[in-house]
Amino acid sequence: MTKRKSDHSKKQVKKQQLSKLKYQIIGGSFAVVLCIGVFVFFFLSQRAEESYAVDDNAVSYEVAIKKPDGIEGNAITFPAYADTKIQKSTEDFPVVLANPDFNKAYIKFIITIDDNKIPLLTTGLVEPGKAIIGIPLPKDLKEGDHKIYIEMLGYSQVKEPTRLSGTKTSFTLTIVDYE
């Protein structure tokens, strides 16, 4: 009988330990999920605030193009870019990231180079009739051809802008060494 009681006590202790372990795992999992939720909320709220800011670096700029025929009043016209060459010692690529004055929306520009996922430049919202002039280039940029990718995102012109249409384009930037 004592052996039975001893076995029964061992089983009860083991059961309690398993129960305690189960609650620890559940509690730990809940804490991890809660931390991830707080992080995601904080990250998304920061991104939302950044994406709604009008870019203070934008300057008044008159584009040489006219509003295309047949474009509806609320449609967004995005600029196009051509292949170009610059000297190796150039620190800022003198490209104009313009939002034509006839647009009825903000444009946000995101510029990357080659296969790099980290943007060279991410602008705030550029108002119609304004532009960001120049993109900072990496100091270690080698001579030769480089692909510049420009993502342009349209946003409504209201107190809390909402995302509209967008487009992506690319062009070749050739770095040369003119001595």
Tens of pLDDT, residue by residue over 41-62, are 665 554 444 457 899 999 999 8
Query: What is the per-residue pLDDT for 130?
Result: 96
The residue-averaged pLDDT of 22-48 equals 68
Between CA 48 and CA 67 the distance in angstroms is 31
Tokens of 56: 């203070």
0.75 surpassed by pTM: no
- Distances in Å between the Cα of 31 and the Cα atoms of 25, 63, 68 are 10, 54, 56
* C-alpha torsion 167→171→175→178, nearest 10: -120
Instruction: Give per-residue pLDDT as tens, 106-152.
Output: 999 999 999 988 999 999 999 999 999 999 888 888 999 999 999 99
Largest pairwise CA distance in the chain? 100
Give the angle subtended at the CA of 46 by the CAs of 40 and 48, to the nearest 5°: 100
Average pLDDT on 12-31 reads: 75
pLDDT of residue 31: 72
Q: What is the pLDDT of residue 36?
A: 76
Output the six-digit token pair for 36.
């991830």
